[in-house]
Amino acid sequence: MTVTKADIVNRLADATGLTKTDVEVVVNGFLYNVMEALQEGDRVEIRGFGSFYSKERGPRQVKNPRTNRVMDIDHRFVPVFRPAKYFRESVNQHLLANRQEKPNE
């Protein structure tokens, strides 16, 4: 299952009692500020959740497996998210527990 931005807005609106419109403004503002900080080369760190930062990738050549054509990829920066240790461990533990409860699915 995929959780969309609309799903997050609905969940937060239900949990806080705020209107969906108000929550959507806050969520969009948060995402905009994260993107803006990364565009400026800053790092965004949310303690207990993780860090967003930009990683530099050098130029390289890649091969298209369908056409076998070699292409050049330019130097670029890509956004990266690194989860906090607790977040990473928590996700792992919950997914392992769910898998043990439902082994044949």
CATH number of domain containing 28? 4.10.520.10
pLDDT at 31 over 90: yes
Distances in Å between the Cα of 12 and the Cα atoms of 25, 65, 67 are 12, 43, 46
Longest dimension (CA), the chain: 55
Residue 52 in contact with residue 84, Cβ under 8 Å?
Answer: no
Other beta carbons within 10 angstroms of residue 23's beta carbon come to 19
Over residues 83-99, the pLDDT tens digits come to 999 999 999 999 999 88
Residue 69: which domain range? Answer: 5-101
pLDDT at 105 over 60: no
Residue 34 in contact with residue 44, Cβ under 8 Å?
Answer: yes
Residue spans of beta strands (DSSP E) within the chain: 44-46, 50-57, 60-63, 70-73, 76-83
pLDDT at 34 over 80: yes
Total domains in the fold of the chain = 1
| Six-digit token string for 17 | 């009692």
Q: Residues 37-59: what's their mean pLDDT?
A: 96
